[in-house]
Amino acid sequence: MLSQDEILKRMEEWPKHYSPKDIEPKWQKLWLTQEYWEKIFKFDENSEKPVFFIDTPPPFTSGELHMGHAYWVTIADAMARFKKLQGYNVLFPQGWDTQGLPTELKVQYKLGIPKENRELFLKKCVEWTEDMIGKMKSAMIRLGYRPNWEQFEYRTYHPNYRRVIQRSLIEMHQKGMIRMKQGPVYWCPKCETAVAQSEVGYLEKQGILVYIGFPLKEGGEIVIATTRPELLGATQAVAVNPQDERYKNLVGKKAILPLFEKEVQIIADPDVEKDFGTGAVMISTYGDPQDIRWQLKYNLPVTELVDERGKIKGTGFLDGLKVEEAKKRIVELLKEKGYVRKIETIKHNVLSHTERSDCLSPIEFLVKEQVYIDVVPYKGRLLEEYKKMNFKPQRMAGKLEEWINNIEWDWNISRQRLYGTPLPFWYCDNLHLVPADISSLPVDPTKSNPPVDKCPHCGLPLKPLTHVADVWVDSSVTVLYLSGFYENKLRFNKTFPADVRLQGTDIIRTWLFYTFFRTLMLAGNVPFKRVVIHGQVLGPDGTRMSKSKGNNVSPMDRIEEFGADAIRMTLLDASIGDDFPFKWDTVKGKKLLLQKLWNASRLAYPFIHGRKLDRPTTLHPIDQWILARHKEFVEKTIQAYENQDFFVILSMLYEYFWETIADEYLELIKHRLFNDDKSAIYTLGRILKDIIILLHPIAPHITEEIYSLIFGEKQSVLLESLPSTDDIKVAEDVVRMGDSVKKFNSLVRTNKVKMRMSMNSQIKVEVQGPKQFLEDLMRVEDDLKKTLKITEITYREAEQPDVKISPA
């Protein structure tokens, strides 16, 4: 037994203040060592342990790790660490989505490398990418993120990954799902490339609604309203609603396009909104998706009026003008000739290039030869199969379903770019596709010869496809790549489908949908069993972070001050699926909680460190009480981890650890600790160790530090296993006693505050209350006296509990 002085001296060995910036990098370095890798973080293909495979998002390599990244990094890391503690063999990958327009633009404009020099351009793209990865990776590591870098870090430009992408395309082609065809495509004139349906969205913009009088062939006129007067030259018909009395007698008649002097028919279609404009619209090729539907429905001719750079062609008088300029010019001309009836300024939704790009330019529809993957024919099957995945939160399943329901066009996968996965095909003038040999992958058709001399279908000469794949073609095979679908059947059988997919709401219709679709088509099953979809991290003002609003917060801004652990706790203190504002004040609060844990450990250290914590045959009633509470905490925490309800764990830390253990229990057992009471020492050691283990996935650094200082039997908390509480018997009378003690403590303290006494002052107490209440207190009278500096307690039965105190 140590003397009081010795105990206090040993306590001084423990740094008084919790300093995350000293602790965290140390552990991050250790986790990355070969030794920790081998013992803890490695995914062992030969292990008999159950496998847990989490599919994490491969972020685009922008170079900046923003709060949204920090959020999923934290969730994924916490999930993986928990599963390790639970005894799983964890496959925890991290990929990089390396290809795409933003990188090309940086290389083109920031580095000034011309696209014409293809080799150099691609080399610089890769260099830029690696640079960006380096920055993001070090920030991830600084947050305590520890995936299987050694085995499962991947880059979508890498030959190994590219081989899987290309093979998946060739196999889809073999299944008859890929074809080249001509048709309208979403086109971004600014980026000069085709984009997919999932990359566009509607943005509210200021525009004009022009009312134009079309003369009727038989005399008179019909006034149409349009936001796209510049497309007048590509107008193929005028449409009205069949129910519209105003136009009933005009249906079937001919109208004449002003300026172009072309006759078009007036048709009736139920999709025309009677209340918009004049109720008469012009159908042009193409102003919006509705025009495409009408063009197909009525088999209207197509006039190509806009070129790849968004300039008008084929009109003579508007040629070479950009769409916006042409709009102004044609309105002027129409005014001069007296065709304009009215012009309104309106706010309307304009289809724009919104996804994965800050481009936001309006989308045009161009007629192009492109490569498509059939999606529409599989809608029915997709609507059935998606139900095999369970969603957290459940409502997110509805978002996927809604998206599948809304799919109208097949997936255009060709992009007119350089830095991307080459589509592994050659083609002929009849648009037949000839795939590369699987043995030749990865392949760049522009640099290799086709596997056959001529088109096997029609004998025409073959040309290489110069297009690259949509980035979602790349990232929709993460599960197939990681599980080893093509290249490691042993691993595939063990790991497929993945246990969890983690991602944000914003990529449901892209990453989630395409992975689900492609994996189902190629491997015949859904890619994962469970999809966990988190919300967005908002700025401190509760709105979306954006540079223009200046409400951007980066996790790295104040990580030295508060530490990665406190940031992780803040991010996890939200219900998964909800958006939440990020405030440094909240982080400060989490740091205080960790400081509390630090101090409690400081108190426990001299009594527990280096001691054997055998369970004594009998336990003090107060220890029995805390163990009963402890059992509840352990069980609920494990349950919360299983459901990814991290905020539940955090609220229990406040309630159980801070309020119950730190504020009540520790005070009650101090006198016994100093007297080397075996029951108290055993209990404190046990609950503290369990708390450390259970908190580790959320706050890995501080828990490793405390564990190593106090317990340290193993090199890492992760070599421990989840606590079991099977041996703890919960006795009702003990739990009730705990409540009585808490009540008594509170009454005594309240009275001391009222009487302006210091907490330290000696008092006499007269307590009243129901018989049961008094008996509970008598059971631990000695502990109450020592804890609350009471010299004498007298008891009196009464209905309501109350105390009277007086100075001793």
Partner RNA sequence: GGGCCCGUCGUCUAGCCUGGUUAGGACGCUGGCCUUACAAGCCAGAGGUCUUGGGUUCAAAUCCCAACGGGCCCA
List of residues contacting RNA (CB under 7 A): 4, 8, 11, 16-19, 197-198, 201-202, 289-290, 349, 395, 398-399, 402-403, 406, 408, 505-506, 509, 542-544, 574-575, 578-581, 583, 585-586, 588-589, 591-592, 595-596, 599-600, 602-603, 647, 651, 654-655, 658-659, 662-663, 666-667, 670-671, 674, 746, 749-750, 752-753, 756, 758-760, 786
Please list, residue by residue across 188-209, b when 16 or more beta carbons sit within 10 angstroms of its beta carbon and e when fewer do: bbebebbbbbbbbbeeeeebbb
Report in angstroms how near the CB of residue 614 gets to RNA at its nearest.
Answer: 24
Report in angstroms how near the CB of residue 524 gets to RNA at its nearest.
Answer: 28
Both tokens of residue 781?
């009278």
From CA 380, how far away is CA 376, in angstroms rounded?
9
CB 219 within 8 A of CB 254: no
CB 445 within 8 A of CB 464: yes
Report in angstroms how near the CB of residue 7 gets to RNA at its nearest.
Answer: 7
Both tokens of residue 43?
């995914």
Radius of gyration, alpha carbons of the chain = 35
Report in angstroms how near the CB of residue 165 gets to RNA at its nearest.
Answer: 24
From CA 590, how far away is CA 567, in angstroms rounded?
8
Our CB check for RNA shows the closer of 26 and 110 to be: 26
Our CB check for RNA shows the closer of 248 and 549 to be: 549
Report in angstroms how near the CB of residue 560 gets to RNA at its nearest.
Answer: 12
**What would you measure as the largest C-alpha separation in the chain, in angstroms?**
113
Residue 37, classified by CB atoms within 10 Å of its CB into exposed (0-12), middle (13-18) or buried (19+), is middle
Our CB check for RNA shows the closer of 243 and 750 to be: 750
> Which of helix, strand or coil describes residue 468?
strand
CB 164 within 8 A of CB 365: no
Q: Is 474 left (phi over 0), alpha (psi -120 to 50) or beta?
A: alpha
Report in angstroms how near the CB of residue 575 gets to RNA at its nearest.
Answer: 4
Report in angstroms how near the CB of residue 237 gets to RNA at its nearest.
Answer: 19
Report in angstroms how near the CB of residue 457 gets to RNA at its nearest.
Answer: 34
Our CB check for RNA shows the closer of 314 and 542 to be: 542
Rounded to whole angstroms, what are the CA distances from 142 to 29, 85, 260, 586? 10, 22, 64, 20
Closest CA to 20 of 581, 425, 568: 568
Our CB check for RNA shows the closer of 137 and 583 to be: 583
Rounded to whole angstroms, what are the CA distances from 664 to 668, 733, 734, 788? 6, 18, 15, 11
Report in angstroms how near the CB of residue 754 gets to RNA at its nearest.
Answer: 7
Report in angstroms how near the CB of residue 724 gets to RNA at its nearest.
Answer: 26
DSSP of 669-717, one letter per residue?
Answer: HHHHHTTT-HHHHHHHHHHHHHHHHHHTTTSHHHHHHHIIIII-SSS-G
Our CB check for RNA shows the closer of 16 and 771 to be: 16
CB 528 within 8 A of CB 385: no
From CA 573, how far away is CA 571, in angstroms rounded?
6
Our CB check for RNA shows the closer of 193 and 586 to be: 586
Residue 260, classified by CB atoms within 10 Å of its CB into exposed (0-12), middle (13-18) or buried (19+), is middle
> Which of helix, strand or coil describes residue 603?
helix
DSSP of 199-236, one letter per residue?
Answer: GEEEEEEEEEEEEEEEEBTTSSEEEEEES-GGGGGGEE
From CA 399, how far away is CA 388, in angstroms rounded?
15
Rounded to whole angstroms, what are the CA distances from 146 to 37, 160, 572, 706? 10, 23, 17, 19
From CA 104, how far away is CA 191, in angstroms rounded?
11
Our CB check for RNA shows the closer of 341 and 804 to be: 804
* Cα 429 from chain centre: 43
Report in angstroms how near the CB of residue 613 gets to RNA at its nearest.
Answer: 19
Report in angstroms how near the CB of residue 177 gets to RNA at its nearest.
Answer: 22
Our CB check for RNA shows the closer of 266 and 404 to be: 404
Report in angstroms how near the CB of residue 581 gets to RNA at its nearest.
Answer: 5
Our CB check for RNA shows the closer of 127 and 402 to be: 402
Closest CA to 599 of 687, 677, 655, 663: 663
Report in angstroms how near the CB of residue 569 gets to RNA at its nearest.
Answer: 10
Our CB check for RNA shows the closer of 595 and 708 to be: 595
Q: Please give the torsion angle defined by the CA atoms of residues 656, 659, 661 and 665, in that order, rounded to the nearest 10 degrees.
A: -130
Report in angstroms how near the CB of residue 604 gets to RNA at its nearest.
Answer: 8
Both tokens of residue 99?
């290809």
Both tokens of residue 663?
């504020």
Our CB check for RNA shows the closer of 419 and 674 to be: 674
Report in angstroms how near the CB of residue 509 gets to RNA at its nearest.
Answer: 6
The span from the first CA to the last CA of the chain, in angstroms, equals 32
Our CB check for RNA shows the closer of 158 and 558 to be: 558
Our CB check for RNA shows the closer of 586 and 637 to be: 586
From CA 128, how far away is CA 99, in angstroms rounded?
11
**Secondary structure tally for the chain: helices H, strands E:** 27, 28
Report in angstroms how near the CB of residue 202 gets to RNA at its nearest.
Answer: 5
Report in angstroms how near the CB of residue 720 gets to RNA at its nearest.
Answer: 23
**Angle at the Cα of 282 (from 278 to 283), degrees rounded to 5?**
140
> Which of helix, strand or coil describes residue 508?
helix
